[in-house]
Copies of this chain bind each other. A is one copy, B any other.
């Protein structure tokens, strides 16, 4: 199944990174439409009237919204290429459980860390610790949560690596310490080395610069 594929997003958005990685893994050519709150604002409102949020995948002019809904759609529509889901139903359920856990717990805690909320660092470390403890169970000794190749759970977590690293760099501390979380550290290295990921993953320096710009915008210096 081919057709015209467009993605509405920004280069900084972890959620937009998810379909971008999935499309790269499936070797699907797509047009990346940026500036969703400026020049492409009307597209965003037309295609995601409920949330008015990115990412939005536009496949043959039909919109699909919500990042994990989009990546599951990509898996359904382009079944050829690497499978993004384990074959066994129980393994699929475990992957779905952790995908939901990441969205439920990791993003709020990372946002909290950025805002300096009390307890947020501990919460983020707990999330990473849970994932460290469950890496072997999911990967069964292979390279990724999904097995030999990157899958949906890897994408769900991996998209937060740029923000995590930028946060660590700005705060001068580790949210996941390779000495304490060796499985996750090894996984992160392999994930970032994959061609499908390399193409979309911004450098830590670029994310730090963006983070500082955001901070200055929302916390202007007093006159």
Contacts and interface: CB of A to CB of B under 8 A. Distances in A.
A111 interface: no
Main secondary structure of the interface of A (DSSP, over half): helix
B101 A73 contact: no
B77 A89 contact: yes
Given A50-B130, A64-B90, A97 B69 contact: yes
A66 B100 CA distance: 9
Nearest to A101: B50
Interface string A32-58: 000000000000000000100000000
Contact of A97 (B59, B64, B96): B64
A93 interface: yes
A100 B77 CA distance: 20
A70 B93 contact: yes
Nearest to A79: B89
A80 to B, nearest CB: 14
Contacts of A190: none
A173 B194 CA distance: 56
A65 interface: yes
Given A64-B97, A130-B50, A90 B69 contact: no
Nearest to A1: B89
A69 B89 contact: no
A89 B66 contact: no
Interface in A59-82: 59, 62, 64-66, 68-70, 72-73, 76-77
